[in-house]
Amino acid sequence: MAVAVDADEIRRLGKRFRKLDLDNSGSLSIDEFMSLPELQQNPLVQRVIDIFDADGNGEVDFKEFIQGVSQFSVKGDKESKLRFAFRIYDMDNDGYISNGELFQVLKMMVGNNLKDTQLQQIVDKTILFADRDEDGKINFEEFCSVLKRLGYCTIDLSSDKHTGYFHVNAYRPNAI
């Protein structure tokens, strides 16, 4: 993956990384990520960290941090942002969103606000709506197609260079 950040942004992110690296280990743990107030209430923070953690060792080193954060850059291309959003749901990284994966991610988002049976009905209907090739799961193309059919033409994964906050937004053309 190409890093869509310039030298100034890398320096700024390096400063942010060092500030987050509370134990000076050279990598960020889940607890260090959770020291950010803006992430403490985010139900998908573990999924984002899992995606950033390319080597799967449970922590995010500086290279992984830069590569992960670069996907939030305004300079990043649309497909990279869509792939990142897709990977939030594709928990086993097999290129598909299964019924179980969709249930798990939605459960992270809704917590106990819905009964599992209600949530499963939503998952089943979503799979039926999205699954064009009728294989029981959603591939990347089907994921993009659903966003397009629902009118979400833009996904904005960006970071505010002043606050360092990360934003994930999907926009409908008529809502802009």
Domain that holds residue 107: 78-149
Are the C-beta atoms of residues 68 and 168 closer than 8 Å to each other? no
CATH of the domain at 104: 1.10.238.10
Average pLDDT over residues 75-100: 91
The rounded mean pLDDT for the chain is 85
**Interval 15-38 mean pLDDT:** 92
Residue 32 banded pLDDT, cuts 50, 70, 90: very high
For residues 111 and 83, membership in a common domain is answered with yes
CA distances to 2, 21, 126, 145, 172 from 150, in Å? 29, 40, 12, 8, 8
User: Beta strands 96-97 and 138-139: pairing type?
Assistant: antiparallel
More confident residue, 47 or 71: 47
Confirm whether 35 is domain-assigned: yes
CA angle 43, 45, 51 (to 5 degrees): 135
CA–CA distance, 168 with 1 (Å, rounded to integer) = 19
Distance CA 51, CA 54 (A): 7
Task: Tell me the whole-structure pTM to 2 decimals.
Answer: 0.78
Confidence of residue 150 (pLDDT cuts 50, 70, 90): confident
